[in-house]
């Protein structure tokens, strides 16, 4: 958890109210942006605050919001709901050279409750990331290349899965969200670029050119 993430006592009633607000609004909710306190709070663990039907409806809604954005992951705090829940899916068509450089393979949809991860080896790799809650920016983030994810599935079963490459990056990014961490907390600050500059200059399969020109993660 980020040292700045706040421990907040989120009551079941507050969580249930927040969920009902988005489920009954009749429109897809807006993704909250950096500066909203819910993104900086340690979300409440899921422990039955929602019925099975409500949880299923919320997961379906989050998937729709993620697809519309579009993105490859969305955490409940990004909808203003302080709950440790996230959905993930990566089915985008990606240039083969980019996919090979980034270890990016399709990630079938799944939802995770109360996730935590740990690296499975000492290898790290840096690539540019963006976030649906940080409009307009991209930045390079050095992350473990492989992780083991522990989480609870929507059916209540405890699960453990291992991920590598881009899938591991998505898992870490979304798990961080429910612990009050934004990707910018882990970013190489000199790499931060507007979306326009990233697209024009740094959207290569790897970060080597950006690393050289912007002066981050210097080599030995």
Catalytic site includes residue 174:
yes
Mapped onto helix, strand or coil, the DSSP state of residue 173 is helix
- Residues whose CB is less than 8 angstroms from the CB of residue 199 and which lie 6 or more positions away in sequence, other chains included: none
Number of neighbouring beta carbons within 10 Å of residue 200 = 10
Catalytic residue among 174, 188, 197, 213: 174
Alpha-carbon span 22 to 70, nearest angstrom: 19
- Residues whose CB is less than 8 angstroms from the CB of residue 154 and which lie 6 or more positions away in sequence, other chains included: 52, 55, 56, 59, 111, 113
Which residues are marked as active site?
174
């Amino acid at each position: 958890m980020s040292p700045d993430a706040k421990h907040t006592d989120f009551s079941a009633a507050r969580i249930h109210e927040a969920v009902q607000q988005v489920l009954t609004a009749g429109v897809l909710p807006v993704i909250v942006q950096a500066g909203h306190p819910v993104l900086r709070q340690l979300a409440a663990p899921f422990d039955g605050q929602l019925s099975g039907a409500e949880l299923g409806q919320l997961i379906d809604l989050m998937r729709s919001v993620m697809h519309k954005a579009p993105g490859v992951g969305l955490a409940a705090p990004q909808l203003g709901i302080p709950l440790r829940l996230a959905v993930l899916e990566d089915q985008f068509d990606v240039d083969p050279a980019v996919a090979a450089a980034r270890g990016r393979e399709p990630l079938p949809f799944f939802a995770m409750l109360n996730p935590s991860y740990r690296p499975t080896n000492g290898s790290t790799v840096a690539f540019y990331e963006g976030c649906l809650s940080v409009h307009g920016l991209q930045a390079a983030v050095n992350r473990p290349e492989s992780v083991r994810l522990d989480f609870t599935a929507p059916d209540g079963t405890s699960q453990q899965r291992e991920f590598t490459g881009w899938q591991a990056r998505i898992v870490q990014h979304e798990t961080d969200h429910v612990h009050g961490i934004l990707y910018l907390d882990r970013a190489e600050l000199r790499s931060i670029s507007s979306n326009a500059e990233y697209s024009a200059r740094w959207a290569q399969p790897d970060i080597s050119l950006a690393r050289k020109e912007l002066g981050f993660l210097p080599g030995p």
